[in-house]
Structure 1
Amino acid sequence: MRKYRVAGATVNQTPLDWKGNVSRLKAILEGARKTRVELLCLPELSITGYGCEDLFLSHWLPEKALSYLPELIEETEGIFTSFNLPLRHENRLYNTAVVVHNKEIKGVYAKQYMALDGVHYEPRWFNPWPVGVTSSIELMGVNYPIGDLTFDFEDWKIGFEICEDAWRGADRPACRLIDRGVNLILNPSASHFAMQKTKERIALVESSSKNFNCTYVYANLLGNEAGRMIYDGEIIIAQQGSTYLRNELLSFQPYRLRHVDIAPDETSIPNKEFVAPILPKNLEFPKACALALYDYMRKSRSQGFTLSLSGGADSATCAVMVAEMVRLGIHQLGKESFLKNIHKSDLEAKTEKEVVNSLFNTAYQGTKNSSQTTLNAAKTLADSIGAKFYNWEIDQPVASYTETIERVLDRELTWDKDDLALQNIQARSRSPIIWMLTNITNTLLITTSNRSEGDVGYATMDGDTSGSIAPISSVDKDFIRKWLKFAEDEMGYSGLAAINELPPTAELRPISDKQTDEDDLMPYHIMVEIEKLAILDRQSPVEVYQELKLANLESSDLLKTHIRKFYLLWSRNQWKRERLAPAFHLDEFNVDPRTWCRFPILSASFYEELAELEALAD
């Protein structure tokens, strides 16, 4: 059998950007023709974009997507591929791959399994196609087969799995395709990014190619398509358990096309140059966040970002992410293209720092409870990356609000009686002025909430939660603190040195109190272990205690205290999580109820379950 040029492509699409989406697909097809690609796998729902949400429920959106099919088909001379879009058949909507070869439709494969875990809600929009069933559908006045189909192309018998299809274990389509003689499986995917998730994908593709005696081609979407989920643009081609092609992930390019020459009975050893290495988590994190910020900014046509830079770990992480966005964007696209894409073609900035300065406002909003140490730390970091830095005090508005309520209540507020209110008014008083700067500069206000704060509500609603976007709210504080040290030592961000020396603190109580976050809550490394079991694994307080007790992290009494505090604060603060700014999904889970974790706003706060915990003998 001869070698064939087999390719996968990734593309950065946007819901309702019909002209842009189609033009990027055409550019991929043009590149495929020029490089003589014969078999091409494109990502799932790449005409509409995966993130159309309830627009999929409309009749007009699938119809409009279908209307672009003829001009895409015209670009397929000499190419076997599929165009992946929603199709309505017998008044039911399906997630489909319209299979085309050499300008002719060969049939339609319909996805058999819908993703309904974590961030996915596919059964809300799409129907699963029944296994083994085929039917007929009319497209552009011609009838074609639709359903559980395979396709012939010279030495190849080709089957499909669309994303979730492949993750269904012993019930997946590939288990049946092998019995039908399929030796090539194409997998158009829209698989959300999570740090180190690529290891699972590689294992899936390699084991699939080995277990099903086939060549397996996987192609994922790219970029921050619609606001929250990030796609890493992974392309993998494997045969007989060996990877022959894997690209670098998280590209700033609008699309990427990668190919390898391979025979159905390939015996050559894979060329290592075609297989990109797996990045460690510490490098995936900034790369994903930077791409997501870049796409969010350009797709919203904003002029940059604004950040309340406190001198603490969370705001420092967000600041570094904006600097990384500029660094990676210029490195991958060139300065001219990067500035054009973010609608700043007229900018005369020459260096990366000057570009950062044109895009990024930071402000230290101090009070009498703030320290000179955090002010210096914030200014040092801003200067080191090139951001604009402003410094003002908010004691006057805080005093005005406080005096007003004291007159109404006819008493003086004190830290003994009014601790929470006196802390919150400081955080809330920062919001109007930073929003004003944001509006004046037509930028996006970054809120710095992390996942640990989201767990326990350790944030002031309408204060430090105010913002357009929450880039790190799916990442825990323990990871953030460790990553900042990595960024200082390994990524060249020397401006983080002073911040990395400070314990996390809200600086809302008098300086003499020496307030720290961990004193208010619990050690962050303990919280993240409780969080994984309670939220990710959905265990009860007793189950969490029994598992963590074996780890010997702290005394039994203290562990019970921390577990109790976690569950009480978690259950009482769902209303805050409901109002958090849009968040990027970066880790294996998050606490955003609009994507991953739904919880009742009102509940009995685990009272019975916590009583069972207290009753346990140590």
Structure 2
Amino acid sequence: MKIGILQLNSVVGDLKGNAARIQAAAHEAAALGADLCMTSEMALTGYPPRDLLLYDEFIGQVEDQAKQLAAALKDGPPLLLGAVERNDSGHGKPIYNCALWLEGGQVRRSFKKTLLPTYDVFDEARYFEPAPEGDPKANILEYAGKILAVTICEDAWNDKDYWDKRTYDRDPLEAATAHAPDAILNLSASPLFLGKQLLREDMLGAMAKKYATPFLYANQTGGNDDLVFDGRSSAFDAHGTLCSRAAGFKEEVMVVDLDAMTEGTLADDDFCRESETWHALVLGTRDYVLKSGFKKAIVGLSGGIDSAITAVVAAEALGAENVTCVLMPSPYSSQGSIDDSLALTRNLGIKAVTLPIEPIMAQFEKTLAEPFAGLPVDTTEENIQSRIRGNLVMAMSNKLGALLLTTGNKSELAVGYCTIYGDMSGGFAVISDVDKTGVFALCRWYNEHIAPHIPVEIIEKPPSAELRPDQKDQDSLPEYDILDAILELHVEQHKSRNEIIAAGFEEPTVDKVLGLVRFAEFKRRQAAPGIKLTPRSFGTGWRMPLACKREL
């Protein structure tokens, strides 16, 4: 039996468009000899549809579109379709996350998801009822002389032996494999964090080996809001050996022959941190801009490393002709920063617009002279510069119909080293989950592996906001290698003050950093969405209270 894995980039809510993509991919798989096909989880709706699922009319549209797709594929191979369906039992949540079996022009049956994740970015228990208990063959599909176990994403992530624990009371894999299936099929919508694919392959290979059963994993690709899905759909033989892997960060139809798995192919891939970061940023930016209805982008260019890599990503994602960079020098901007910015735009072939802000600064000073009389100059005047720039680039965004990309990194967002309504203004925060040390590493990697477009002066000069004479980031913050190490422990590993100090960091530095993190919460709540790259980003998975007193 040959199974076609349809690795597609669905658009959330675009039921007709998603169905057309699935239909075309199923025909492609059939041409390659597939006997049946499988999509990723909720491929028809796009994942995650979030509160679209609360609208009964939307659920009805999903059901209608599934029936239409079944009819359109009447003469093609049967299809396991990731979708949703109503729960007509009269109790529990109103819908199931399911795989629909489309065969012979009809929706024949469904396979319901059992395990509903509620951690990090996932909130599936908000919407779905888990698969009911009692039917021993609820997830068993018998077709063409084969027994297939059908599971959905999280259903494969609860093995007590692999994790040395069990998060849920039920284990769908354990139940399904009691029927000696010829293969385990898993429809997934598994978002990326850096290094996750290697974890997936190790875990899924372990499941295949444990149950001595081939394991086929279908993942979606593309960016949806703050999540990037890296594809890399995979197939493992009964020994747990990886036999096939689809491309990362792009669509692909991959056909797996259950009777000749050793003949599979592995797409070229690079799992180094910088490579994964680059591909995720490009795909996530492209999809967010285009799926939001924009075609062009604006980037404020300062001469610093953060705005440089943002411009580079934007040019790759959208095409240089669709990106405009705006230079907004002040009296404190160095000539080197201006020259470096212009050199970058020339290297990328991006249009550059220069809007000096000194005249506007003078007008602000004049207007505020009376209420500010007798008060010392402080960060207020620095923030005014940033807010002037924010207004200028937002005005260009409005006038040109181009999405403004913010340029702040995770380190700055964590400690509030950014100006709300200033440099935080914009519609999408490209590098908001890349810390400062990661930005430096990414720029060097880009110059070495993609193209030497980023002037070396941008990478080598000390970071500065250039809002006052001779300003350096380290005037206000610890050295970035120390800051980022503390932030990783606190934000991503959930370590408290005492645990971080016990790890060897100086107590005053830890207290300062964690105090800044707490105080900046109100800024992060108002920040533009960005691309999740780490196990914990400042996005939908970060749910800290605003008005609180905490001692962590």
Q: TM-score range by the shorter chain?
A: over 0.9
From 382, 386, 392, the counterpart of 2:355 = 392
Q: How do residues 155-166 of structure 1 correspond to structure 2 at under 5 angstroms?
A: 155-166=145-156
Q: Where does residue 352 of structure 1 map in the other structure? A: none
Q: How do residues 343-358 of structure 1 correspond to structure 2 at under 5 angstroms?
A: 355-356=319-320, 358=321
The residue type equivalent to 1:96 in the other structure is: C
Are 2:525 and 1:569 equivalent residues in the alignment? no
Q: Where does residue 88 of structure 1 map in the other structure? A: 86
SS across alignment from 2:62: helix
Q: Where does residue 127 of structure 1 map in the other structure? A: 129
Separation (CA, whole Å) in 2 of partners of 1:131 and 1:25:
31
Q: Deviations over 1:410-442 (max 9, x none)?
A: 33x53xxx3211211111111111112222221
Separation (CA, whole Å) in 1 of partners of 2:364 and 2:289:
34
Asked if the contact 1:474/1:590 (under 8 Å) is kept, the reply is: yes
SS across alignment from 2:370: helix
Separation (CA, whole Å) in 1 of partners of 2:210 and 2:323:
51
Structure 2 unaligned spans of 5+: 161-169
Are 2:253 and 1:249 equivalent residues in the alignment? no
Percent identity of equivalent pairs: 26
From 248, 257, 279, the counterpart of 1:287 = 279
Q: Where does residue 520 of structure 1 map in the other structure? A: 476
Asked if the contact 1:66/1:87 (under 8 Å) is kept, the reply is: yes
Q: Where does residue 420 of structure 1 map in the other structure? A: 379
TM-score, normalised relative to structure 2:
0.93
Q: Deviations over 1:531-581 (max 9, x none)?
A: 12212222220011112x1xxxxxx6xx21221011111111110000001
Separation (CA, whole Å) in 2 of partners of 1:466 and 1:491:
29
TM-score, normalised relative to structure 1:
0.83
SS across alignment from 1:366: coil
The residue type equivalent to 1:525 in the other structure is: D
Q: Where does residue 547 of structure 2 map in the other structure? A: 602
The residue type equivalent to 1:20 in the other structure is: G
Tell me the C-alpha RMSD between the 2 structures.
1.9
Are 2:457 and 1:490 equivalent residues in the alignment? no
SS across alignment from 2:7: strand
Asked if the contact 2:443/2:454 (under 8 Å) is kept, the reply is: no
Q: Deviations over 1:494-547 (max 9, x none)?
A: 43312012111111112xxx2211231111111222112212222220011112
| Segment of structure 1 superposing worse, 79-88 or 373-382 | 79-88
Q: CA deviation at 1:172?
A: 2.7
SS across alignment from 1:495: coil
Separation (CA, whole Å) in 2 of partners of 1:172 and 1:377:
57
Separation (CA, whole Å) in 1 of partners of 2:293 and 2:48:
19
Are 2:411 and 1:452 equivalent residues in the alignment? yes
| Segment of structure 1 superposing worse, 468-477 or 65-74 | 65-74
From 1, 4, 17, the counterpart of 1:7 = 4
Q: How do residues 264-275 of structure 1 correspond to structure 2 at under 5 angstroms?
A: 269-271=262-264, 273-275=265-267
Q: Where does residue 277 of structure 1 map in the other structure? A: 269
**Runs ≥4 residues deviating over 4 A:** none
Q: Deviations over 1:274-296 (max 9, x none)?
A: 45434322112121211122222
The residue type equivalent to 2:385 in the other structure is: Q
Separation (CA, whole Å) in 1 of partners of 2:269 and 2:413:
33
Asked if the contact 1:459/1:465 (under 8 Å) is kept, the reply is: yes
Q: CA deviation at 1:321?
A: 0.3
Asked if the contact 1:243/1:270 (under 8 Å) is kept, the reply is: no
Asked if the contact 1:111/1:128 (under 8 Å) is kept, the reply is: yes
The residue type equivalent to 2:466 in the other structure is: E
Separation (CA, whole Å) in 1 of partners of 2:531 and 2:404:
15
Separation (CA, whole Å) in 2 of partners of 1:409 and 1:507:
22
Q: CA deviation at 1:133?
A: 4.0
SS across alignment from 2:393: helix
Are 2:198 and 1:199 equivalent residues in the alignment? yes
SS across alignment from 2:368: helix
SS across alignment from 1:99: strand
Q: Deviations over 1:9-35 (max 9, x none)?
A: 111111222221111111012112222
Q: Where does residue 35 of structure 1 map in the other structure? A: 32
Are 2:494 and 1:538 equivalent residues in the alignment? yes
From 297, 300, 306, the counterpart of 1:314 = 306
SS across alignment from 1:185: strand
Separation (CA, whole Å) in 2 of partners of 1:320 and 1:526:
27
From 106, 118, 121, the counterpart of 2:120 = 118
